[in-house]
Structure 1
């Protein structure tokens, strides 16, 4: 694989400093000058200057530019970073899908290496540590708010970054997501086709906190609207509070809810277990659909109907986007949407079947 373009700029500037073209204290070309000279993006030229600053060769002064340090020690050896960092939201990645398999399939043909770490890993790092250690980052945000500062600083440092599962509108990053809206739309249409009319959508955090969950909610609303059905929405839950879940399940029964679409499979399984404790039969009394198709969806009884995300394809797409940025074959920030698939199992049923039995 060819040398990243920012490294080419770094080597040229180092040679010019050694040759005396840029003596100590002199000003280097600006990001704009370098981007025009080399035909690259401002992100690439900025990263070259940031790398020189990290090596102690230049000092960058806000509003004035980049200057050669008075006692700069310049090494002409290349320091090409080979590690790509993949940040997962939780220590246990079994609940977020097998993205890594798709990433490995793409990265193994390159000189880069994939390093996976849980979100907690970041608590021991400064942003500059990431800049110094990693060629680029694939980031799975926990939500759309908590990591804004870190992600924006990665952007300011010019670190190639791709988001997975969520899109954060304020940040100029490429992203890869499942077609969440279409997934929830198809799940809701499936329940409506089974004659359900009181269908609840249940999510954990406030609906605006995660773009992926927000899109699922919009798909649910879109499907209901087409049949003039009323939404039943429950959010800001504590799924680890068993008493809270029991209270919620009691409320669902009071409202005569016959079907639930949960934010994800983990929540769907927690709801099924809580409903069972209240002697609610799944799916006879209440049908349940999850989202993700994690392994546990086939271990719960009854097996969970769910919307499957193609995690491997999402991982592959994220890695392809990142490599394109690293190799400067693309400077566009692309938004890739991966198709979903409704997997029908035993946690849903057709209400019409009961009507037919009753009429007989």
Structure 2
């Protein structure tokens, strides 16, 4: 395996300290100077100096720099009591609709002795970018809205600080993104209903503006229908509103199947339809997206497209570690989705 770039700097400085070339209280090169000498980023040179500090070989003086603390024998091993810190941000820490990324993320970080600090996106309003860079070696955040916190994110991007985004890609920022293959999910759901005899398939969403992930699912739906020369029925309906809009839409367009933007919308649609004496799936087939925990417990259990949240968390952790250690920005990664058939859909072929 290729040695992390910061290790080259770390080993060179340790040799100079142990050999006496850098004696007690002598000043080390700055992060900027090291980055120029070794042709690496500031974050890499900073990591090397941080490791020396953790080994208790140097001390830092604010505004002046880093200095040799002691010159121990090379045979004396120092115990690095501190660990690298990663910041993991979610819009809502306990929101089941987002999924559990930590099952995949935490084991990876623990294996590499990295501490994970959890927080909400409000951190971007509470701390300046330079504070985040000082306190954390890298950052992973769930992009609820790609237009949020742009000032902080742009500064982190320009400084080359390792940041991984989840779920949505901000194309103006060069952050690598780990996200589900939402387009393929839209295709899978639509093709399943078509294979089961449905020709009047509606896409049900609950936003005036489609979030990027929902938009990609919708494009997968449209692509599959149009390739089969079928008409698309797009229903932007507030399913929680009791004005009967959903029922009117079904009757007007004779819809037999719904693909919903997520499981929460699908379950709310099922509730509204049951109150109107519809039977699922005898009268209508419904498919959700996300496979949240509640989707298997509703009546009937919801057919859905599952995102692999554990895998997303695992890949995000591995990708961030590789970036930090090798000083190379990774590429975007799409994680496959899985279609899960339950009892909310029916074959209508005669």
User: Does TM-score exceed 0.5, indicating one fold?
Assistant: yes
Report Cα offsets for 1:107-142 as digits up to 9, x if no partner.
Answer: 111121112223345443333332222111111111
**Which residue among 343, 346, 349 is the counterpart of 1:349?**
346
Partner of 1:66 in structure 2? Answer: none
Report Cα offsets for 1:203-260 as digits up to 9, x if no partner.
Answer: 23355532x222111111111012111112234x656x4336x423432333221111
What is the 5 A alignment of 1:231-270? 231-235=232-236, 241-243=240-242, 246-270=244-268
Mapped contact 2:27–2:66 kept (Cα < 8 A): no
Deviation at 1:172, TM superposition (A): 0.9
1:228 is paired with a residue of what secondary structure? coil
**Which residue among 283, 292, 295 is the counterpart of 1:294?**
292
Which moves more between the two structures, 304-313 or 93-102?
Answer: 93-102
Structure 1, unaligned stretches of length 5 or more? 23-27, 50-54, 58-68
Partner of 2:217 in structure 1? Answer: 216
Partner of 1:99 in structure 2? Answer: 101
For residues 150 and 251 of structure 1, do their structure 2 counterparts lie closer, same or farther at Cα, with a shift above 3 Å needed? farther
How far apart, in 1, do the equivalents of 2:67 and 2:277 lie?
Answer: 72
How far apart, in 2, do the equivalents of 1:173 and 1:80 lie?
Answer: 27
Deviation at 1:181, TM superposition (A): 0.9
How far apart, in 2, do the equivalents of 1:29 and 1:83 lie?
Answer: 19
Mapped contact 1:167–1:175 kept (Cα < 8 A): yes
Partner of 1:60 in structure 2? Answer: none
1:117 is paired with a residue of what secondary structure? strand
What is the 5 A alignment of 1:190-229? 190-206=192-208, 209-210=211-212, 212-229=213-230
Deviation at 1:347, TM superposition (A): 0.6
Deviation at 1:90, TM superposition (A): 1.8
For residues 83 and 29 of structure 1, do their structure 2 counterparts lie closer, same or farther at Cα, with a shift above 3 Å needed? closer
For residues 286 and 124 of structure 1, do their structure 2 counterparts lie closer, same or farther at Cα, with a shift above 3 Å needed? same
Partner of 1:165 in structure 2? Answer: 167
Structure 2, unaligned stretches of length 5 or more? 14-21, 50-59, 70-79
Partner of 2:157 in structure 1? Answer: 155
Aligned length: 325
Mapped contact 1:297–1:304 kept (Cα < 8 A): yes
For residues 79 and 288 of structure 1, do their structure 2 counterparts lie closer, same or farther at Cα, with a shift above 3 Å needed? same
Mapped contact 2:124–2:152 kept (Cα < 8 A): no
Partner of 1:62 in structure 2? Answer: none
**Which residue among 95, 112, 124 is the counterpart of 2:114?**
112
What is the 5 A alignment of 1:319-358? 319-328=317-326, 331-352=328-349, 356=350
Partner of 2:16 in structure 1? Answer: none
Partner of 1:39 in structure 2? Answer: 39
How far apart, in 2, do the equivalents of 1:297 and 1:303 lie?
Answer: 6
How far apart, in 2, do the equivalents of 1:271 and 1:143 lie?
Answer: 25
Report Cα offsets for 1:41-91 as digits up to 9, x if no partner.
Answer: 476469999xxxxx885xxxxxxxxxxx5xx36555799762211111224
How far apart, in 2, do the equivalents of 1:346 and 1:21 lie?
Answer: 67
For residues 29 and 317 of structure 1, do their structure 2 counterparts lie closer, same or farther at Cα, with a shift above 3 Å needed? closer
How far apart, in 1, do the equivalents of 2:187 and 2:343 lie?
Answer: 19
For residues 124 and 306 of structure 1, do their structure 2 counterparts lie closer, same or farther at Cα, with a shift above 3 Å needed? same
For residues 299 and 122 of structure 1, do their structure 2 counterparts lie closer, same or farther at Cα, with a shift above 3 Å needed? farther
Report Cα offsets for 1:128-163 as digits up to 9, x if no partner.
Answer: 332222111111111222243332222133321111
